[in-house]
Structure 1
């Protein structure tokens, strides 16, 4: 798949390249680093829906839910297109104000072909999964000063190590179909591939909740993600 972490819509990891619309969303939950202490607001449960637009391909809606049960947190995403459906989830806990991944699972169905992936705590001890890492990256971005930079390391759906560089761009208020929010903006670039860039907007009050995403290649925006619905307990 092209562009490292841009391998699939997160719930569709592994779907063949003949469905490139699904590859554009892989950055939603791919990122991790040495898990930060939670100086920023701690996770809060939410249920969200995003709308994904990719030039030349059908639009897609993605569901994202962060829940808490018996001391564990779980971040899960699901999406569907005609003839295809997929899901991905990661479970983590907070130990001494740090995020620690416990389990990851993903699967998809494409024209009757099904695949499933799973990582356990031993796989995730050195590097966490993408879903848990989404929350960790948001916490780091909320807590960091503008122009802060770093390198993220994470496990992909097969347990392979991936890396990405990030820069915190700053904060701004954004108006969306789901309401008005304060966002922290983060730019991500794969090492040695600076012609491709992803810009993520995280909600400052709900670590892990995406407000928007834009993917650029060769200076042109190729896809866009927008938060359209949000509910909180």
Structure 2
């Protein structure tokens, strides 16, 4: 699987942060489907699901196109100081060849995996930082990385499902100033993406667009968005 497609599928290597000190609100279970466009590749559908299982939470993303597929799954719990990553697994296949990765709790003790971090980033995006907002994480192989992020705006996005209030966030890699992600998070549901685009060398290389979503708990409260 090419790096740009794998990059987006896995919450996409830039969507990661330090969990220490984050006072996390209770997550909301959801499921969502997206249309993924990657330059030079067939379009694909991405599914993303956040579910609760026996007091723990699991974030899972998967994609499948004719010649490639990918899956990432991260489990975490809510601790006194924020989200605590417990386990991470991923696998990718291209033309019948693939790789699998796994990170256990002891390997995630310092920094979280990127599925756990996807939920935490959307919670932390509105918090002020002393200077540059800098986030640390481990990639799919457990290697430490760092990114920088900033909140661009709060605005209402016109989507296929209707108008939804979004948090627009920009994320960059300090070592690669030519690369950036523009992410629209749901303002009330941590970790739920509404849209995302990946830019490199001044050109948009990939775009993710929400097709539909299921927010059962919010719908029962009388507010579907």
| TM-score (normalised: structure 1) | 0.84
State the partner residue of 1:33. Answer: 18
SS of the aligned residue for 2:75 comes to: strand
Q: 1:174 to 1:36 in 2, by over 3 A?
A: farther
CA deviation profile, 1:123-147 (whole Å, cap 9, x unmatched): 0001110000000101001x42599
State the partner residue of 2:64. Answer: 80
Which structure 1 segments of 5+ residues have no match?
1-14
Which structure 2 segments of 5+ residues have no match?
217-225
Question: Matched residues in 1 for 2:107 and 2:152: separation?
Answer: 32
Q: 1:27 to 1:83 in 2, by over 3 A?
A: closer
Question: Matched residues in 1 for 2:147 and 2:132: separation?
Answer: 11
State the partner residue of 1:165. Answer: 148
SS of the aligned residue for 1:206 comes to: coil
- Residue-pair matches, total: 214
Q: 1:1-233 residue pairs with structure 2 within 5 A?
A: 15=1, 19-20=2-3, 22-26=5-9, 28-30=11-13, 31-38=16-23, 41-96=25-80, 98-141=82-125, 143-144=126-127, 149-233=132-216
| TM-score (normalised: structure 2) | 0.87
Q: CA RMSD in A?
A: 2.1
Q: 1:76 to 1:207 in 2, by over 3 A?
A: same
SS of the aligned residue for 1:22 comes to: helix
Query: How far 1:156 sits from its partner (Å)?
Result: 0.8
